[in-house]
Amino acid sequence: MIQNLLQTPIEYLKGVGPNRAELLKKELNIETYRDLINFFPNRYIDKTGFYKINQLQQNSSEVQIVGKIVHLKTVEQKRGKRLVADFIDDTGRMELVWFRGHKWIKENLKLNTPYVIFGKTNWYNGLFNMPHPEMELVSDYKKNLRTAMQPVYPSTEMLAKKGITNRVIMKLMQEVLKQTGLKFSESLNPEIIDELKLIPKADALFNVHFPKSQELLAKAQFRLKFEELFFVQIQLLRKNLLHKQKIKGFNFDKIGENFNTFFQEHLPFDLTGAQKRVIKEIRGDMGSGAQMNRLLQGDVGSGKTIVGLMSMFIALDNGFQACLMAPTEILSVQHYNGLVELCKGLKTSIYLLTGSTKASKRREIHEKLENGEIDILIGTHALLEDKVKFKNLGLAIIDEQHRFGVAQRAKLWKKNIIPPHILVMTATPIPRTLAMSLYGDLDISVIDELPPGRKPVKTVHRFDSNRLKVFRFLKEEIQKGRQVYIVYPLIQESEKMDYKDLMDGYESIAREFPEYQISIVHGQMKPADKDYEMDRFVRAETQIMVATTVIEVGVNVPNASVMIIESAERFGLSQLHQLRGRVGRGAEQSYCILMTGHKLSNDSKTRLETMTATNDGFEIAEVDLKLRGPGDLMGTQQSGVLNLKIADIVKDNSILQTARHYAGKVLKADPNLQEEHNLPIKNAYSRLVKNKTIWNYIS
């Protein structure tokens, strides 16, 4: 019954009608009673107290005062007229000021009559004033329904123009809540309500709009935020669960010769605890009978490659092939060389397939792949071509998932009836909180420990005016046999200017260091030229690499120990961190020097300070998320995270963790929500699924 009422088009609510309904739909996406109730205030004005004029402070925020206007005058100013009223109470005098709407005010304001005024005060010329106060006659004030805390709803210019003020929305909200009789169906189970001491749903919905006190508001918000995040998590976890039930995977339960020989005889170092844990998680997945869909996150240089290789051995040991796909030619070649090196002395047959593989080699690879002579194939997008047919692909590893879409991932496994296991590796740290929401349908492994003995990169911030000193330092490092990167920003909108900066920089470096060889790499070069320059640097034929951010991802030159980032204030935090990850990969002490001018915004300062303070990618990602909000992070746009109505993915981190915990607990005990006590969850969930939205969780 309440369900039907909540579906009612907003047009039929008292005080709305067709015109307003049209506006509410267009401006606020409010079409039904339910939508209106789900439209939450973004702040509240605390009107619990009254101020006297002599109590006002210069930094008072919004205040409420009772007094009367004793005089009204128009003051001419250069910038236009303003209307000024003398307002007094029994303790003092202040001014009320209007810059517009004079005619209406003059005609309607009553002199010498008590008013309640509300607004922000300023201190000007030895007197307090309040511009454009909200005013209400004391006689009306007593009559009108009010709550101690007044909700302030998000609004738009159009709504204000058409007279749908905050007050109007409040009236509509009162009306709609009255009509529901506050009889909302429960949507959580009694255990959760009990353990978290949640207030009843009706109380939460009433108090979030018209809080009776700060305390009740906090409780109302907690309950609604929890509920919102809980259902997001239920949905993601169920998707994961269904996937596992539905999509069968190869059951790789054998650990055989490849894995064991490598582990016992060829492992070049001891695995870190984190690497061991992750390998175990992957083994568990591959032997579970369901298809693995795992995201492996590891900070730059944390040792993901070896984890990838050992996972491939598991596939090989069970008689299957494996592949590794990387976003660029350079990275594919690098992976190929790295894996060939690691597999020296083993019988593993490893091939490389990229866009520049010659036709004859390509034919050979196609053939050997189909008859099973290739164990591991490494490459770029070229792996996705129709001609590439595996005999039996058991595991596909995808490096840097941001560059490959989900559709492309799927393309890899359309080739098989049973899909291969999928391991996505990324060095882009995604804050755990966000990862939980974004990739709830992937399982996540994190390598959160660097190999021992790694010297953290020393990071400093230097102003452009100190450039000569920085150059002197560079020289010393190169003389010790090291190589250096100098990176310039390349941002699309100002590509031309950036290109000029890069070239100017290149020339000044060539002048400064005539005795050294310099490579240059930027986005406008042909791929073959880029590879050639890169290759010279990798082989240490050049000492200095001048580049734009194209070198950001994954390049591994252990001998490079200095990274200079020019105009560092123009880079995002995660980008700076990725760039810094290009050094500190060898045994030598490495340095990252962030160069900027003197003029810096607060955000830039925070970014630079964060970089100099920590090397931890996850910590950096958290700061990044706080600075930019989730909107800018890759993938969030499609994920719906931004459509949260009341919770905030950054600020409500701990509620998110709680929601995740309870959603997991409920589904673990009762995957199909069939138990009696979970009926409210089941009902709420099916309504959400039916409405194709998880956000309208109000029953």
The site that binds ligand ATP (CB under 6 A) totals a number of residues, namely 19
Return the range that interacts with ligand ATP (CB under 6 A); candidates 106-114, 299-307, 476-484, 644-652. 299-307
Least CB distance to ligand ATP at residue 399 (A): 8
Among 581, 617, 630, 680, binds ligand ATP (CB under 6 A): 581
What is the CB-side half-sphere exposure of residue 376 using CA atoms within 13 A?
28
The SS3 of residue 174 is helix
């001998």: which residue's tokens?
559
Which of left, alpha, beta for 151 (phi over 0: left; psi -120 to 50: alpha)? beta
Angle of the 329-342 helix axis to the 304-317 helix axis, nearest 10? 70
Return the range that interacts with ligand ATP (CB under 6 A); candidates 13-21, 157-165, 294-302, 517-525. 294-302
Q: Which helix (H) or strand (E) holds 152?
A: strand 149-152
Closest CA to 320 of 287, 352, 353: 287
- Of the pair 270, 504, the CB lying nearest ligand ATP is at 270
List CB contacts of 615: < 8 A, sequence separation 6 or more: 456, 457, 459, 580
- Of the pair 65, 557, the CB lying nearest ligand ATP is at 557
Return the range that interacts with ligand ATP (CB under 6 A); candidates 101-109, 303-311, 467-475, 641-649. 303-311
| 306 binding ligand ATP? (CB under 6 A) | yes
Among 38, 180, 305, 596, binds ligand ATP (CB under 6 A): 305
Residue 372 and residue 144: Cα distance in Å, rounded?
82
**Cβ(6)–Cβ(691) below 8 Å:** no
């490459």: which residue's tokens?
379
Phi, psi of 349 (to 5 degrees): -100, 120
Least CB distance to ligand ATP at residue 298 (A): 5
Classify burial at 346, counting beta carbons within 10 Å of its beta carbon; exposed 0-12, middle 13-18, buried 19 or more: middle
Closest CA to 382 of 406, 351, 343, 350: 351
- Of the pair 327, 419, the CB lying nearest ligand ATP is at 327
CB 480: neighbour CB atoms within 10 A? 9
- Of the pair 334, 653, the CB lying nearest ligand ATP is at 334
Return the range that interacts with ligand ATP (CB under 6 A); candidates 13-21, 47-55, 166-174, 295-303. 295-303
Closest CA to 686 of 669, 673, 670: 673
| 300 binding ligand ATP? (CB under 6 A) | yes
- Of the pair 306, 621, the CB lying nearest ligand ATP is at 306
Residue 592 and residue 620: Cα distance in Å, rounded?
15
| 301 binding ligand ATP? (CB under 6 A) | yes
Among 34, 283, 304, 607, binds ligand ATP (CB under 6 A): 304
Least CB distance to ligand ATP at residue 433 (A): 22
- Of the pair 448, 533, the CB lying nearest ligand ATP is at 448
Among 41, 67, 287, 298, binds ligand ATP (CB under 6 A): 298
Angle at 79 between CA 76 and CA 84, to 5 degrees: 45
Among 303, 429, 431, 505, binds ligand ATP (CB under 6 A): 303
Residues 426-465 that bind ligand ATP (CB under 6 A): 427, 451
Return the range that interacts with ligand ATP (CB under 6 A); candidates 6-14, 84-92, 271-279, 620-628. 271-279
Return residues touching ligand ATP (CB under 6 A): 269-272, 275, 298, 300-306, 427, 451, 554, 556, 581, 585
